[in-house]
Amino acid sequence: MPAFTAASETGEIRQQFADKQSLTLDEQVRTVTMKLKNKVAIVTGASSGIGYAAAKAFAAAGAKVVVTARRQTLLDHLVSEIEHAGGRAVSFAGDVKDVQFAEALVEKAVKDFGGLDVAFNNAGIIGAAKNTADMSLEEWKTTIDTNLTSYFLAAKHQIPEMQKKGQGSLIFTSSFLGHTVGVPGYGDYAASKVGILGLVKVLAVELGPDNIRANALLPGGTDTPMNFANAPEAGPEVQEFVNGIHALKRMASPDEVARAALFLASDDSSFVTGTSMLVDGGASITKA
């Protein structure tokens, strides 16, 4: 099988735009790679990790992006990085547990950018990290509110704007944890993440007739502050353990997960809906 080289890629692009002789090659390449050109996207959990990387990837693909999380300074930094690279973004800080927040976030997208096409609902916490018998109801509720109820609220307010546009892509970050693997101490987290999978399946059938897709993205261990391999007290043996649970024997970079989110956001996945897409480096099929 011939290698897929940059030269062959350029050849295909030239062919595709053979009739557009007025465009320079740079313009032609840009047209094909701007997978979210003229789209408006919301990215939650954008102050760090996967959301930060996804916001940059979406903006680089041409989207106008509303980025959100609680830490305003980090959002400011992200917006200036995106603008420096020639993209468009605005920040809107808030707490996804706040029931008014999801509506205000969509209003921001409509007010600043004129609508909503893509929502990457990604904010999350690891939870209490306690065995079930030791977990308080308050701890359980905080995790469910942050990781699951916030996704319901987000969808509830994002759907009408997408219906107005006659299309849309809703993406929700779940996890392999709980879906294919049980890990002691993560009952609240697993329940919240698996709950998302049920929500996504129902959204997909509710919204299919409106040309709105809904998908769950299930990362494996990803090299972000949330991962316990990156906890200050974690030694090299913890890193080694986390790397070892993946077939690829390493964690994902946030960019690798962001590229999968970009796939689900763009028309490249135009016939993908209701799916639980593992991006887990083979963690779910690795037993040794």
Q: Specify the residue, 17 or 228, whose C-beta has the smaller distance to ligand NAP.
A: 228
3-state secondary structure of 120: strand
State in angstroms the smallest separation of the CB of 37 from ligand NAP: 26
Distance CA 249, CA 32 (A): 34
Q: In whole angstroms, how close is the CB of 167 to ligand NAP at the nearest point?
A: 25
C-beta of 20 vs 156, nearer to ligand NAP:
156
Known catalytic residue at 52: no
Which strands form 168-173's sheet, in the order they lie side by side?
88-91, 64-68, 40-44, 118-121, 168-173, 212-219, 276-279
d(CA 68, CA 42): 8
Catalytic residue among 52, 151, 186, 189: 189
Q: How many angstroms from the chain centroid is the CA of residue 62?
A: 16
DSSP string, 214-252: EEEEEE-SBSSTTSGGGSTT--HHHHHHHHHTSTTSSPB
Shortest approach of ligand NAP to residue 192 CB, angstroms?
A: 8
Phi, psi of 44, rounded to the nearest 5 degrees: -100, 160
Which of 171, 157, 187, 141 shows the shortest CA–CA distance to 94?
157
| Beta carbon of residue 93, minimum distance to ligand NAP (angstroms, whole number) | 8
Instruction: Please report, as ranges, the residues that interact with ligand NAP according to CB under 6 A.
Output: 45-51, 69-71, 95-97, 122-125, 146, 173, 175, 219, 221-222, 224-227
Q: Of 30 and 130, which has the nearer Cβ to ligand NAP?
A: 130
Identify which of residues 69 and 89 has a Cβ nearer to ligand NAP in the complex: 69
- Residues annotated as part of the active site: 189
